[in-house]
């Protein structure tokens, strides 16, 4: 019997990994997402019933759940060197000359894309992924195995049989551009500055503590080099091709070149085509193909003599800096923008470039009237690289950074350790006020889609709304006075405003736009404090009691409620009938049963999603925290919980309870999210 279960688990794991491979490596899925989820659920169920058959390479490990507080430092078996960079045809010819002189016999190159991500080394033993380590300083890196296991295109178990018993394969982890754009959109929603580029975002994601968050980020990975003590292949090209048959995602664009001329054609082709790729590359890597010749050429202190990278030139032009203007963002942050004489760059006309902040202006010593070099790099907005001093006119004007807000006239402030100046006039500064109202009506906040940003601007300019609460006193006759506002749109708008009064408290809390309060934090606070008055009177210590709320967020909440202007807004929202407390139904499900207790939730559960379980903890007055410490009251253990966590809980004597034990703690009137009740027996 148990043999057949074991067999079933193995067979399901094999099927699931096959589907992962088809979807993420070959981009040719053969079943629906629904069917896939069913297979995975079945596997998780069987592994739960028979934990003795749960393997480290099971595809159920890809959903994440393990939290790493500190990444272990690991010494690389083969040092992780970097490549010498070249930027010109001439440099590349010099490289080729050096190679030719050293190798008397013939040789060929392999040309590859230079992925702009984070280098990773993956170790496999007997076909199973055992360790993933970042580059670090080249000698030692961080063990990020748990996070890497969530990347679906990286095989946990290899295909075929002809791979070496133990080997390392290296490649680049990256974030596809589309995913990057989505992350930045989310950050914008909670008033966080955007991440600079996909590379930084990938590096940040890989070092996140909660692997279930990493799993949702959709990182991807191309592999480009195999290392082993006795590789059965004679060349780099052959081993990468073999790695492809073992299930790795390797690049189809890899190409052999027997002359430097062919290398140039490869470079030129990808310099133009790179904009069509779904990820960023910053150049091309050229490697001598034969391992024997690689060994002969050897290494310098830092990099191999048998390989080099050619970095694409960011396209540059020079143009005149006509003036500088200053933009004010929703959070009051000031960005200086260069107004340029329009010029064509990489296929688009550039009129403006970001100057970032006062320090950058000073460092560039850029003056109005200067001719400046503008470049389009990985970032979308072009930037000014340098000044062409030979063209500086005598009357070029030194930039006097503004001292007052261009929108409202308030004196700007600059906090120590912050690069940007900002306008402190939160309450009256037009772009800040309008920005806050736009956030308030947003889809994930009060969802008043009949009120767009243009109408907000119109209403604000007409003096009809000054803050989010004013939206609730709009009258039809006022609306009809606005340009382009007909009877029907006015009725729609008011209906939308009215409907928003039913939006639950946790979303209202997100909508009012307290700095650093995103959707998740808003939910936590709502269930913990239950109404806005309790939240308003919470002390710093009490706020810090709520799981995952840090100093910055707690202070931001205190500051918000300390401002009398905000108190007026809250009162007005209350009078208008906006939900400032949990609903009756939500309260019925809430209790104080878990007050004073803190829980760590880990693994996958049957009756709850992990998020719902955390919500249930908070709804019942408990605290859900990320990592185990001596203070943790309970570890709620689900399927596939990380062994490290289990060990730590045992070491610290933290009681380990199951999902069912947890439900029992809430009996006799268990409070579950979404109004569900557990059947009493």
Residue in 517, 519, 515, 474 with CA at minimum distance from that of residue 493: 474
Minimal distance in Å, beta carbon 115 to ligand IVH? Answer: 4
Minimal distance in Å, beta carbon 307 to ligand IVH? Answer: 6
Which one, 135 or 149, has the nearer CB to ligand IVH?
A: 135
Minimal distance in Å, beta carbon 597 to ligand IVH? Answer: 45
Which one, 267 or 307, has the nearer CB to ligand IVH?
A: 307
Which one, 285 or 441, has the nearer CB to ligand IVH?
A: 285
Burial of 18 (0-12, 13-18, 19+ CB in 10 A): middle
Footprint of ligand IVH (CB under 6 A): 81-83, 112, 114-115, 119, 135, 172, 224-225, 285, 304, 307, 309
Provide long-range contacts, Cβ within 8 A and 24+ apart, for 1-8: 2/50, 5/46, 5/49, 5/50, 5/53, 6/50, 6/53, 8/46
The residue number with the shortest CB distance to ligand IVH is: 119
- d(CA 616, CA 115) in angstroms, rounded, equals 43
Cα-to-chain-centroid distance, residue 32: 26
Minimal distance in Å, beta carbon 256 to ligand IVH? Answer: 14
CA distances from 646 to 61, 478, 641 (A): 16, 63, 7
- d(CA 348, CA 96) in angstroms, rounded, equals 35
Among all residues, which ones are annotated catalytic? 114
Query: Could you tell me how many residues make up the chain?
Result: 681
Q: Which two tokens stand for residue 500?
A: 């928003």
- d(CA 435, CA 635) in angstroms, rounded, equals 42
Minimal distance in Å, beta carbon 254 to ligand IVH? Answer: 8
Which one, 112 or 438, has the nearer CB to ligand IVH?
A: 112
Which one, 21 or 224, has the nearer CB to ligand IVH?
A: 224
Which three-class secondary structure string do you get for 509-542? HHHCCCCCCCHHHHHHHHHHHCEHHHHHCCCHHH
Which one, 64 or 117, has the nearer CB to ligand IVH?
A: 117
- d(CA 295, CA 305) in angstroms, rounded, equals 9
Which one, 225 or 340, has the nearer CB to ligand IVH?
A: 225
Cα-to-chain-centroid distance, residue 46: 32
Minimal distance in Å, beta carbon 284 to ligand IVH? Answer: 8
Minimal distance in Å, beta carbon 309 to ligand IVH? Answer: 6
Burial of 597 (0-12, 13-18, 19+ CB in 10 A): middle
Minimal distance in Å, beta carbon 118 to ligand IVH? Answer: 7
Evaluated on CA atoms 555, 561, 564, 569, the torsion sign reads positive
Which one, 37 or 137, has the nearer CB to ligand IVH?
A: 137
Cα-to-chain-centroid distance, residue 393: 45
- d(CA 423, CA 420) in angstroms, rounded, equals 10
Residue written as token pair 């800040």: 432
């Amino acid at each position: 019997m148990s043999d057949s279960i074991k067999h079933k688990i193995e067979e399901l794991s094999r099927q699931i990994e096959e589907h992962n491979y088809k979807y993420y490596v070959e981009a040719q899925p053969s079943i629906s997402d629904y069917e896939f989820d069913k297979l995975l659920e079945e596997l998780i169920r069987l592994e739960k019933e028979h934990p003795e058959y749960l393997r480290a390479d099971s595809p159920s490990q890809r959903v994440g759940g393990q939290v790493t507080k500190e990444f272990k430092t690991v010494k690389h078996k083969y040092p992780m060197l970097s490549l010498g960079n070249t930027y010109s045809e001439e440099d590349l010819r010099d490289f080729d000359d050096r190679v030719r002189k050293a190798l008397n016999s013939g040789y060929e190159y392999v040309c590859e894309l230079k992925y702009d991500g984070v280098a990773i080394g993956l170790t496999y033993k007997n076909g199973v992924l055992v360790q993933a380590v970042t580059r670090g300083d080249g000698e030692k890196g961080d063990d990020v195995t748990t996070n890497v296991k969530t990347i679906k295109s990286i095989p946990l178990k290899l295909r075929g049989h002809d791979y070496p018993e133990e080997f390392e394969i290296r490649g680049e982890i990256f974030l596809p551009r589309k995913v990057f754009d989505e992350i930045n959109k989310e950050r914008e929603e909670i008033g966080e500055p955007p991440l600079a580029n996909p590379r930084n975002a990938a590096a940040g994601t890989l070092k996140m503590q909660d692997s279930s968050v990493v799993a949702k980020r959709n990182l991807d990975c191309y592999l480009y080099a195999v290392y082993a003590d006795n590789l059965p292949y004679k060349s780099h090209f052959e081993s990468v091709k073999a790695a492809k048959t073992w299930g790795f995602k390797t690049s189809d664009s890899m190409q052999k070149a027997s002359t430097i001329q062919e290398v140039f054609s490869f470079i030129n082709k990808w310099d133009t085509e790179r904009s069509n790729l779904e990820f960023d590359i910053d150049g091309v890597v050229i490697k001598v193909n034969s391992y024997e010749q690689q060994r002969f050429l050897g290494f310098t202190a830092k990099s191999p003599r048998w390989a080099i990278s050619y970095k694409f030139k960011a396209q540059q032009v020079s143009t005149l800096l006509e003036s500088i203007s200053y933009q004010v963002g929703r959070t009051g942050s000031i960005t200086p923008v260069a107004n340029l004489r329009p010029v064509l760059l990489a296929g688009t006309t550039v009129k403006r470039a970001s100057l970032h902040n006062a320090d950058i202006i000073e460092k560039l010593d850029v003056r109005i009237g200067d001719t400046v070099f503008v470049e389009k790099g990985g970032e979308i907005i072009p930037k000014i690289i340098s000044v062409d001093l030979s063209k500086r006119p005598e009357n070029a004007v030194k930039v006097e950074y503004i001292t007052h807000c261009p929108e409202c006239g308030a004196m700007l402030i600059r906090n120590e350790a912050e690069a940007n100046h900002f306008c402190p006039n939160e309450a009256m500064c037009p772009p800040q006020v309008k920005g806050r109202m736009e956030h308030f009506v947003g889809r994930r906040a009060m969802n008043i889609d009949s009120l767009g940003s243009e109408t907000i601007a119109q209403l604000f300019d007409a003096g009809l709304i000054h803050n989010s609460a004013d939206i609730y006193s709009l009258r039809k006759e006022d609306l009809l006075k606005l340009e382009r506002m007909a009877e029907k749109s006015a009725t729609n708008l008011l209906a939308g405003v009215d409907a928003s009064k039913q939006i639950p408290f946790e979303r209202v809390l997100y909508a009012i736009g307290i700095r650093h309060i995103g959707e998740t934090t808003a939910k936590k606070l709502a269930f913990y404090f239950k109404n806005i008055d309790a939240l308003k009177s919470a002390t710093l210590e009490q706020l810090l009691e709520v799981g995952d709320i840090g100093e910055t967020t707690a202070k931001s909440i205190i500051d918000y409620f300390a401002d009398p202007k905000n108190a007026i807004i809250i009162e007005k929202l209350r009078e208008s009938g906006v939900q400032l407390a949990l609903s009756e139904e939500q309260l019925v499900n809430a209790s104080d049963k878990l007050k004073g207790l803190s829980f760590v939730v880990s693994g996958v559960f049957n009756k709850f999603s992990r998020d719902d379980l955390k919500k249930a903890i908070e709804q019942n007055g408990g605290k859900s925290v990320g990592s185990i410490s001596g203070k943790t009251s309970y570890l709620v253990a689900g399927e596939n919980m990380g062994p490290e966590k289990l060990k730590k809980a045992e070491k610290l004597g933290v009681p380990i309870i199951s999902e069912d034990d947890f439900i029992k703690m809430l009996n006799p009137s268990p409070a579950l999210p979404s109004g569900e009740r557990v059947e009493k027996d």
